[in-house]
Chains A and B, each alone.
Chain A
Amino acid sequence: MHETSIAAALLDQLLRIAAEHHATRIEQVEVRCGVMRQVVPEALQLAFEAASAGTPAAGAQLTIIEEGLVVRCRACRAEFASGLDDYRCPRCKTADVELIAGHDIILRSVVCQANTAGSDARGPDCL
């Protein structure tokens, strides 16, 4: 259940971003989870719901998008999409790779309700 730690880290990140943008409530969150991190979406949803209770992120809709694995062969430097169960290079046939994508958990976007009384609610990152 490492989703509990991930949810706690995500909440810290969201609250910081909300404060930076003078937001009063977080409504939607999009996260891309690399398959290598083995996040169970339902477990992360549940952990986030529990962690965010009583905070400005309570009730936010969390969208989790799975990101596939891309690796690079350390011998021939070929990059290829890989499954979790087979990392063999199509050329070298060895399973000695570096991870290029699909190994991280990335916060991609946050939709929040701005404090309309704030004088600088729409920062440069706001769309």
Chain B
Amino acid sequence: MKINVVESVLKANDAVARENRRRMDAAGVLAVNLMSAPGSGKTLLLEKTIPALAPDHRCAVLVGDLQTTRDAERLGGLATQVTQINTGTGCHLSATHVAQGLDSLDLQGVDFLFIENVGNMVCPAAFDLGEHRRAVLLSAPEGDDKVAKYPTLFQPADVILLTKLDLRGVLDYNRDRVYEDLSRINTRAPVIELSAKTGHGLERWFAWLRQERRQHSGGDSAPPRGRKDTAT
């Protein structure tokens, strides 16, 4: 017999993502999903971000990696709560990973939850985790051609961070090429140029986070704007 169906294969993931978002909304938490290739500077950025926000905001982190607790150890002394999620051979975080991570956190009093996704420019983009905003990092050493090569990562981004720009001088890195590619892929997301090492540009990133937090507290709990709203 033939059974006709019209059902999303990722329905189960999306249902868990909606529940994650509901839990964080109820606790007044803004969740930011950080995505990029491995080594683009996600952890260092958080090492600089969490203390800078600390006077006014409490931060928790879920950090995804295939193996080791190294990132959680780096962030452990900075964030109020950190949970390392090891995916084993999994190349991305799923909504279920995040749900389990949320179970390990006390969300009351937390303002920001940073979800440091597994370093990968393809797979993480396909999975809604229940986050409110998506931040995509592109470091100078990766090259200036990655926006065009991995458009599905950059298209739904709410903010794009060009990182490690202190290395630009020693690399054959054409920043104009990045902007040219972004003009075709995503003109909505602000682009912030920074170096977490020197501190250049970090204030703009902090200001963006504070602004999004205010907007979220004001009742805008919509998921990232450039993609399908699985909350409906």
* Chain A interface residues (CB < 8 Å from chain B): 1-2, 4-6, 9-10, 12-13, 17, 21, 23, 31, 36-38, 74, 84-88, 94-99, 103-114, 121-122, 125-127
| A and B contact pairs by CB, cutoff 8 A, 21 listed | A6-B10, A9-B10, A9-B12, A10-B9, A12-B12, A13-B7, A74-B188, A85-B151, A87-B155, A88-B183, A95-B155, A95-B182, A95-B185, A98-B225, A98-B227, A104-B228, A106-B7, A109-B5, A111-B1, A112-B3, A121-B1
Given A2-B123, A99-B227, A107–B1 Cβ distance below 8 Å?
A: no
* Chain B interface residues (CB < 8 Å from chain A): 1-13, 90-92, 94, 122-123, 125-127, 148, 151-152, 155, 182-188, 225-228
The minimal Cβ–Cβ distance linking A85 to chain B, given in whole angstroms, is 6
The minimal Cβ–Cβ distance linking A122 to chain B, given in whole angstroms, is 6
Q: Are A95 and B186 in contact (CB under 8 A)?
A: yes
Q: Are B188 and A1 in contact (CB under 8 A)?
A: no
In the bound complex, what is the Cα–Cα distance between A13 and B183 (angstroms)? 39
Q: Which of A94, A99, A105, A108 contacts B10 (CB under 8 A)? A: A105
The minimal Cβ–Cβ distance linking B178 to chain A, given in whole angstroms, is 14
Given A36-B152, A85-B148, A87-B186, A110–B2 Cβ distance below 8 Å?
A: yes
Interface of B is mostly: mixed
In the bound complex, what is the Cα–Cα distance between A113 and B126 (angstroms)? 33
In the bound complex, what is the Cα–Cα distance between A36 and B5 (angstroms)? 21
In the bound complex, what is the Cα–Cα distance between A110 and B7 (angstroms)? 11
Given A9-B12, A10-B9, A87-B185, A2–B122 Cβ distance below 8 Å?
A: yes
> What residues of chain A lie closer than 8 Å to B94, measured between beta carbons?
5
> What residues of chain A lie closer than 8 Å to B6, measured between beta carbons?
106-108
Give A123's nearest chain B residue, CB to CB: B3
In the bound complex, what is the Cα–Cα distance between A37 and B228 (angstroms)? 12
Q: Are A17 and B9 in contact (CB under 8 A)?
A: no
Q: Are A127 and B188 in contact (CB under 8 A)?
A: no
Q: Are B152 and A96 in contact (CB under 8 A)?
A: no
> What residues of chain B lie closer than 8 Å to A13, measured between beta carbons?
7, 9, 11-12
In the bound complex, what is the Cα–Cα distance between A1 and B182 (angstroms)? 26
Q: Are B2 and A109 in contact (CB under 8 A)?
A: yes
The minimal Cβ–Cβ distance linking A74 to chain B, given in whole angstroms, is 7
Supply 13 further A-B pairs (C-beta < 8 A) apart from A9-B11, A9-B13, A104-B228.
A9-B9, A9-B12, A13-B9, A38-B122, A85-B148, A87-B155, A95-B187, A95-B188, A110-B3, A110-B5, A122-B1, A125-B3, A127-B2
